[in-house]
Structure 1
Amino acid sequence: MLGTHFAFLLAVFLAFAALGILAVTSQATLISDVEGRLQKRLRTGYNQTEQGLFTVAMDFVQVERKCCGIRDSTDYFNSKWRNSTFAKTPELKEVPDTCCVIKNENGCMAEIQRWFDQETTILLCASLGLAGLLVFGMLFTVCLCRNVEEEETA
């Protein structure tokens, strides 16, 4: 029974380690993929009726993180929002009010990545703590197995 418990803890630990290695090695790919998807959504969905939640989220990030667009403020230049707004009233700004209020042209992706890195650090520390508990559990199981074997032979 203790051997099964040890095998289970070992399997969980190995799966946990594999997931951690995968997360670390694919972080750059993940960030690049997220950036591409966000830019596409900004071009095609910002301030569009069917994309209301994206617009609210983008405006929130731009105000809270003091940024504009994904890479920079020029991300709005070829967007559906700008094209439809300029067609009606060409004197309007080239970026949304949430960019103008804060007067910032820096892109939000750097801020999103900074936030992601902070959260990843917290997750990494929690993961290391959990891994330590798993190792402690495995060592404790080995000690119990040895004590049971010694009592059976005595």
Structure 2
Amino acid sequence: MREYTEKKETCGTICLKYLLFIFNFFFWLAGGAVMAVGIWTLAEKSDYISLLSSNTYMATTYILIVAGIVVMVTGVLGCCATFKERRNLLRVYFILLLCIFLLEIIAGILAYIYYQQLSLELKQNLKETMTKKYRQEGEESVTSAVDKLQQEFKCCGSNNATDWSESLWIKSGEAGGRKFPDSCCKTITDLCGRRDHPSNIYKEGGCITKLENFIQEHLKIIGAVGIGIACVQIFGMIFTCCLYKSLKSEPY
């Protein structure tokens, strides 16, 4: 009976080891995916961050990148802890899993909260940002973001093209007689912003709704990745606890 029990426990431990190893392999791949989503958002989709008054969008992106890096390191540590059957390494591994779990939950929650607040923030701040900071000294990032926004989404102004009548730059002599930035033109040519005609300017389309939809789509991705990986980690923590209990205490 004793031999049968020991054999059964050994088989159970072996199964747990392989389950945890498989989990760590996919967990490591998931870490790379999480980091890639964060870097992609930061490098390719952050052009419009200067138009936002809140840093929440950037914060969720940085949290994802950090979590992805830690996940990849933790995946390697998990494999070492599993096959060396070291309870102290398993403890460290479990703590790291828990920290990553909390990081990703925070990223998901921040993305969800900001998703709810984004519309109000843009309505309160986008028009003012565009009219008061466009082509102003030290606001090159805003100028570049506004030009790219209007061209990429084929829009003009925050609510509509008439918003530009309140622009500090349009009112100044530096605008060269333009009524709108050249980026409002359907076909950009030098000084094309002087001609106020629907065939020339995106007069009907404001940028606020299009920017809101764009950022909300990315917040959905960030939130889904954060919460999704966090849920998967629960299985890893369960496997780790089971393996930890199945191993004998290390001699010190």
| Normalised-by-shorter TM-score class | 0.7 to 0.9
1:134 to 229, 233, 237: 233
Q: Which residue number in structure 1 is paired with residue 136 of structure 2?
A: 48
Q: Which residue number in structure 2 is paired with residue 146 of structure 1?
A: 245
Aligned ranges for residues 28-39 of structure 1 at < 5 Å? 28-39=116-127
1:26 match: secondary structure: helix
CA contact (8 A) 2:107 2:226 kept: no
Q: Which residue number in structure 2 is paired with residue 100 of structure 1?
A: 185
Asked if 1:71 corresponds to 2:169, the answer is: no
Asked if 1:80 corresponds to 2:168, the answer is: yes
* Percent identity between the two aligned chains: 32
1:77 match: secondary structure: helix
Asked if 1:22 corresponds to 2:110, the answer is: yes
What TM-score does the superposition give when structure 1 sets the normalisation length? 0.75
Unaligned runs of 5+ in 2: 1-87, 187-199
What TM-score does the superposition give when structure 2 sets the normalisation length? 0.49
Paired letter, 1:127: G
Unaligned runs of 5+ in 1: none
Higher RCO (CA < 8 A, seq sep 6+): 1
Paired letter, 1:61: L
Distance 1:97-1:28 versus aligned 2 partners, 3 A rule: same
- Aligned mates of 2:157, 2:143 — CA distance in 1: 11
2:124 match: secondary structure: helix
> Offset of 1:85 from its aligned partner?
4.7
Paired letter, 1:137: G
- Aligned mates of 2:223, 2:135 — CA distance in 1: 36
- Aligned mates of 1:87, 1:4 — CA distance in 2: 61
Paired letter, 2:120: S
- Aligned mates of 2:216, 2:161 — CA distance in 1: 23
- Aligned mates of 2:139, 2:240 — CA distance in 1: 53
1:47 match: secondary structure: coil
> Offset of 1:24 from its aligned partner?
0.9
Q: Which residue number in structure 1 is paired with residue 215 of structure 2?
A: 116
CA contact (8 A) 2:155 2:184 kept: yes
